[in-house]
Amino acid sequence: MNALNDVSPQSLRTRITKHLTYTLGKDKSHASLYDWRMAVSYSVRDIVIEPWFAATRKTYEAQGKRVYYLSLEFLIGRILGDAMTSLGLFDTVREILDDEGISLWDVIEDEPDAALGNGGLGRLAACFLESMSTLACPAYGYGIRYEHGLFRQKFENGSQVELPEDWLNQPNPWEFERPESRYTIPFKGHVEQADGKSVWYAAETVYARAYDMPVVGWQGKWANTLRLWGAHPTEMFDLERFNSGDYTAAAAPEALARTLSRVLYPEDTTESGKELRLKQEYFLTSAALQDILRRFLSEYDDLSLLPDKVAIQMNDTHPALAGPELIRLLMDVHGLAWEDAKRIALGCLNYTNHTLLPEALETWSTWLMGRVLPRHMQIIERIDAEHQSETNCAPDLAIVQHDHVHMGTLAFVMASHVNGVSALHTDLMKETVFAGLNGVYPSRIINQTNGVTPRRWVRLSNPALSKVLTDTIGAGWESDLDRLADLAAHEEDHDVRDAIGAAKRHNKVALSNWVGEKMGMSLNPDAMFDVQIKRIHEYKRQLMNVFETIARWSAIRANPQGDWTPRVKIFGGKAAPGYFVAKDIIHFINDVAKTINNDPVTADLLQVVYPANYNVSMAQRLIPATDLSEQISTAGKEASGTGNMKFTMNGALTIGTLDGANVEIREHVGAENFFLFGMTAAQVQDRYQVTDHARQAILASQPLQDILQMIAEGRFSPTDKGRYLPLVDAMWNHDPFLVASDFDSYLACQAQVDRAYTDADQWNRLALRNIAGSGFFSSDRTIKGYMADIWDTKSLA
């Protein structure tokens, strides 16, 4: 069933011309880049259809279990390049377009990023979808078809400005609208008891309509579906009002409904607390569960079999209403008894936790929950009562506390398995936030360390390194990443080390050209490219990196003739619009960049680059060109990280703390090939016991005092000298993420990195070892873990 067998270059050429002519209605002499992109996308999509249908057929025939991955976020990025890579069509399409005088790269760049997510959690969901297809695990992703994905970031005088994102402004060639697949989603109203049954009389309803995107796996052997729901009105517009001339009121029902799938909440770690957000969570969850039950009942009639046929994964607590909603559908719609409904729901559901930060643990007031979802509030109370009486737990383990529904507890109680996303994170779940629940539901918590797809993150984004890998260890590593370990046997081969170095340099030159075009800066590709890209958050400690940059700058200025290792410091990332401290950090990085980049004394030795609007596509550009990966969060705060894995696969060395998956990366690549600094999670806990930890640490560090002094004097904000006084004050008096306490250790470690970089051959050796040790971090390994330990599903390959 390999779709590739019958794709000849000639047939593809014909397809593209046909789509240009008949789908786009253009002849070649008038076709724009957009037209070409659409024609190519439709042609590549055509080739995905066959494995897509075949996968559906096989799944029906096998009568096995299907996986349903429910997520409010899918950060999929661009699709065309990825699909061509999976199908092995990259070179063919490039040649076809070359003949037409069109550049494939321009076509790829014309596609907007599908930014239906904020950060790690959303990108993980996208990697998982791809791996499930590669592994022929029958699965659906369920999400929301946001009309506006994550905001576009722009800098104005160094500050972040958010602009609306508009990816659906043009037709999306990868989606199939399914008007026939639609479900009614109720809200509000009241519940009545009749004949021992509960009847919910909703006051508002919207339709959820399905939009399907095929997700093709490696070599086109299998394709699953990402089903995104769009909200549509249940009532058409009000003709009477329209005829009387009140056009705005006439369109009101439509506007109201569509609001539900209009925007992605641009929060990554804080609860938004908005009614609309709760409605979005329910909208996705209810549509998905209705669809799951409809599909199940089309094949079976005994609902008690549901847990044998359906595994549902809740991606964080955002879809945690799945517990009460599944019980509601089974009882109120399908007539099951409470005990049966609850047992079945529990048998299907699982929950992944992605953060221990207290501000990110969702709660909803019982008042709001009761108003928006009155029937669910009843069900939640009954789940809670049984949970408390069955476990005899302490009151602080209740689902409802102080008039708030704790979604983490609800998800936990209604899940067969609860998993963390790295070994350390899972341990900390058991010891901290979920210690009590772990006590009353022992062995429910398990670990599944995150992974990333090597197809997008190495093969597609780093063709230069991919070639070196295939030349050295042979073909096939893309779907068997443990094979990268074979590289280790080539460590003594000078040519291999050189080739790895040459691939890196090639990528750095390409990145330099891009930065030159976009930002008018000219970078030195022989300098060390030192990169920190991720959401801007205090716990990720971008501030510590900037402080080190300032220390470096001062040191060079004090001794310009010294033996310095040239560096380019690269930052990328967005801040949640309401997270003002993070936005100040962005402003600060840009101010520091401006000061340093204008200093002729340090120009050849230090540059600071912060391209605006970091997204998946930018990550694909930056990661292959990185020498040093910054993974410097306060130990215990980063659940896993996934960027850290992408860098390692691409031969960057890591400077990092013992946090999240860094711990496992270091184990896999070897401690001597990893630049470790800073306190451990346990030491961090002890440090917090010292009330004036920040002051003490600053007083003990001359470099840090000097840096804070410069900032306080306004060196980086000459037109507004007091701009960063609050930042300096917060450092002395609060420093909630222990930047000061880890700073000297970080500085010393960075000096070690400088020394290591001066020996290019040795650096390439370390890079080789990092690549060789990165096989474990393929999301294929992660998905196999979920299939075996959580879903109990089999590959249909």
Residue 600 contacts by C-beta under 8 Å, 6 or more apart in sequence?
none
Stretch that binds ligand 7GP, among 114-122, 246-254, 549-557, 587-595 (CB under 6 A): 114-122
Only one residue has tokens 């991606």, namely 315
> Binding to ligand 7GP (CB under 6 A): which residues in 356-375?
360
Does the footprint of ligand 7GP cover residue 130 (CB under 6 A)?
A: no
8 A C-beta contact, residue 168 and residue 144: no
CB of 421 to ligand 7GP, least distance (A): 4
**Which residue in the set 153, 409, 450, 617 belongs to the binding site for ligand 7GP (CB under 6 A)?**
450
Stretch that binds ligand 7GP, among 501-509, 602-610, 633-641, 717-725 (CB under 6 A): 633-641
What is the pattern of x (binds ligand 7GP, CB under 6 A) and - over residues 231-270? -------------------------------------xx-
Does the footprint of ligand 7GP cover residue 113 (CB under 6 A)?
A: no
Only one residue has tokens 């699709």, namely 79
- State the pairing for strand pair 66-70/139-144: parallel
CB of 520 to ligand 7GP, least distance (A): 33
CB nearest ligand 7GP: which residue?
Answer: 120
Stretch that binds ligand 7GP, among 56-64, 118-126, 130-138, 557-565 (CB under 6 A): 118-126
CB of 121 to ligand 7GP, least distance (A): 3
Angle among Cα 617, 518, 589 to the nearest 5 degrees reads 85
Phi, then psi, of 117 in degrees rounded to 5: -165, 170
**Which residue in the set 19, 354, 587, 666 belongs to the binding site for ligand 7GP (CB under 6 A)?**
354
Structure tokens that stand for 1 in this block = 């069933």
Stretch that binds ligand 7GP, among 39-47, 354-362, 472-480, 682-690 (CB under 6 A): 354-362
Closer residue to ligand 7GP in complex, CB, 478/638 = 638
What burial letters (b/e) apply to 209-230, b meaning 16+ CB within 10 Å? bbbbbbbbbbbbbbbbbbbbbb
Closer residue to ligand 7GP in complex, CB, 450/778 = 450
8 A C-beta contact, residue 68 and residue 128: no
Q: How far apart are CA 284 and CA 315, in angstroms?
A: 12
Closer residue to ligand 7GP in complex, CB, 43/269 = 269
**Which residue in the set 409, 532, 642, 793 belongs to the binding site for ligand 7GP (CB under 6 A)?**
642
Identify the CA nearest to 59 among candidates 352, 296, 250. Answer: 296
**Which residue in the set 132, 421, 428, 649 belongs to the binding site for ligand 7GP (CB under 6 A)?**
421
Q: What residues are labeled active site? A: 354, 534-535, 540, 642, 646
Alpha carbon 8 to its chain's center: 35
Does the footprint of ligand 7GP cover residue 638 (CB under 6 A)?
A: yes
Does the footprint of ligand 7GP cover residue 538 (CB under 6 A)?
A: no
**Which residue in the set 51, 77, 81, 120 belongs to the binding site for ligand 7GP (CB under 6 A)?**
120
8 A C-beta contact, residue 117 and residue 74: yes
Does the footprint of ligand 7GP cover residue 639 (CB under 6 A)?
A: yes
Does the footprint of ligand 7GP cover residue 687 (CB under 6 A)?
A: no
**Which residue in the set 39, 72, 104, 121 belongs to the binding site for ligand 7GP (CB under 6 A)?**
121
Q: How far apart are CA 174 and CA 172, in angstroms?
A: 5
8 A C-beta contact, residue 186 and residue 204: yes
Structure tokens that stand for 562 in this block = 């010294």
Only one residue has tokens 């925007």, namely 263
Residue count, binding to ligand 7GP (CB under 6 A): 19
> Binding to ligand 7GP (CB under 6 A): which residues in 297-326?
316
Residue 538 contacts by C-beta under 8 Å, 6 or more apart in sequence?
581, 582, 585, 736, 737
Structure tokens that stand for 557 in this block = 């200025």
CB of 20 to ligand 7GP, least distance (A): 40
Q: What is the 3-state secondary structure (H, E, C) of 460-492?
A: HCCHHHHHHHHHHHCCCHHHCHHHHHHHHHHCC
Stretch that binds ligand 7GP, among 113-121, 143-151, 587-595, 605-613 (CB under 6 A): 113-121
CB of 450 to ligand 7GP, least distance (A): 5
**Which residue in the set 660, 678, 773, 775 belongs to the binding site for ligand 7GP (CB under 6 A)?**
660
Neighbours of 25 (CB within 10 A): 9
Neighbours of 274 (CB within 10 A): 12
**Which residue in the set 70, 124, 292, 383 belongs to the binding site for ligand 7GP (CB under 6 A)?**
124
**Which residue in the set 641, 656, 678, 775 belongs to the binding site for ligand 7GP (CB under 6 A)?**
641
Closer residue to ligand 7GP in complex, CB, 225/640 = 640
Closer residue to ligand 7GP in complex, CB, 35/316 = 316
CB of 439 to ligand 7GP, least distance (A): 24
Distances (CA, A) of 588 to 81, 545, 556, 584, 740: 35, 12, 21, 6, 17
Stretch that binds ligand 7GP, among 171-179, 219-227, 639-647, 731-739 (CB under 6 A): 639-647
Q: What is the 3-state secondary structure (H, E, C) of 216-269?
A: ECHHHCCEEEEEEEEEEECCCCCHHHHHCCCHHHHCHHHHHHHHCCCECCCCCC
Closer residue to ligand 7GP in complex, CB, 38/645 = 645
Closer residue to ligand 7GP in complex, CB, 71/219 = 71
SS3 for 354?
A: coil
> Binding to ligand 7GP (CB under 6 A): which residues in 266-285?
268-269
Does the footprint of ligand 7GP cover residue 658 (CB under 6 A)?
A: no
Residue 275 contacts by C-beta under 8 Å, 6 or more apart in sequence?
368, 372
Q: How far apart are CA 438 and CA 444, in angstroms?
A: 7
Does the footprint of ligand 7GP cover residue 630 (CB under 6 A)?
A: no
SS3 for 146?
A: coil
CB of 360 to ligand 7GP, least distance (A): 4
Residue ranges binding ligand 7GP (CB under 6 A): 118-121, 124, 268-269, 316, 354-355, 360, 421, 450, 638-642, 660
